[in-house]
Amino acid sequence: DIQMTQSPSSVSASIGDRVTITCRASQGISSWLAWYQQKPGKAPYLLIYAASSLQSGVPSRFSGSGSGTDFTLTISSLQPEDFATYSCQQANSFPLTFGGGTKVEIK
Amino acid sequence: QVQLQESGPGLVKPSETLSLTCTVSGGSVRSGIYYWSWIRQPPGKGLEWIGHISYSGTTNYNPSLKSRVTISVDTSKNQFSLKLNSVTAADTAVYYCARVVPAPGGGWFDPWGQGTLVTVSS
């Protein structure tokens, strides 16, 4: 199985801050990576697929980059509605696996 | 706009079978483009892919659960279902159904159902 490791596990930030979350795969996955946002008590919501493609309707302050084993999710200017947990998922091979999540908290 | 909704018992006894159904609205499970998947999340933990099915019944399961899992599809009801047998407390989780947008090595999940908490306890 491909292990997905996210860092940090949590980050405290203020409104307007730039936030970067990292996801590392245990082996190369090309660009087959997705990012999800999950708010407490809610289902995950697809933000980015194929490492850098923004899902329709997702604000442009979200962006993704990377390929191979190292990926990043960046929120360019944190908004109140962005406080949530973010998870990466590899779509390169079965079984599909997720990172452990990064919680973005209010500073 | 496709919507998914999970249904089934919220409490299952140890050693018994967990059974859930996902009803799809605004779209069809007969679509040859997508797969239909189950994912779970134990309380306070990360997400775990359980498996998925195509409209024709082709399945792919997580090896960690494969011996206990069956996913099936009912195109007449526009539903797909999950059965997980011989459950233990470790199977306590929020169970989500989701549509899979295929990618060469697997796919990503969009949209998701709201999730249903299943507790395994006597």
- B113 in contact with A, Cβ within 8 Å: yes
Smallest CA–CA distance, residue A94 to chain B, in Å, is 6
- B110 in contact with A, Cβ within 8 Å: yes
* C-alpha–C-alpha distance, residues A10 and B89, integer Å: 27
* C-alpha–C-alpha distance, residues A82 and A79, integer Å: 5
The per-residue pLDDT for range B57-116, each reduced to its tens digit, is 999 999 999 999 999 999 999 999 999 999 999 999 999 999 999 888 789 999 999 999
Confidence of residue A62 (pLDDT cuts 50, 70, 90): very high
Minimal CA–CA distance to B116: which of B41, B24, B35, B25?
Answer: B41
Cα nearest neighbour of B5 on chain A? A43
The per-residue pLDDT for range B16-36, each reduced to its tens digit, is 999 999 999 999 999 888 999
pLDDT of residue B55: 86
**Cβ atoms of A32 and A64 closer than 8 Å:** no
Residues of B in contact with A94 (CB under 8 A): 60, 62, 105-106
pLDDT of residue A11: 97
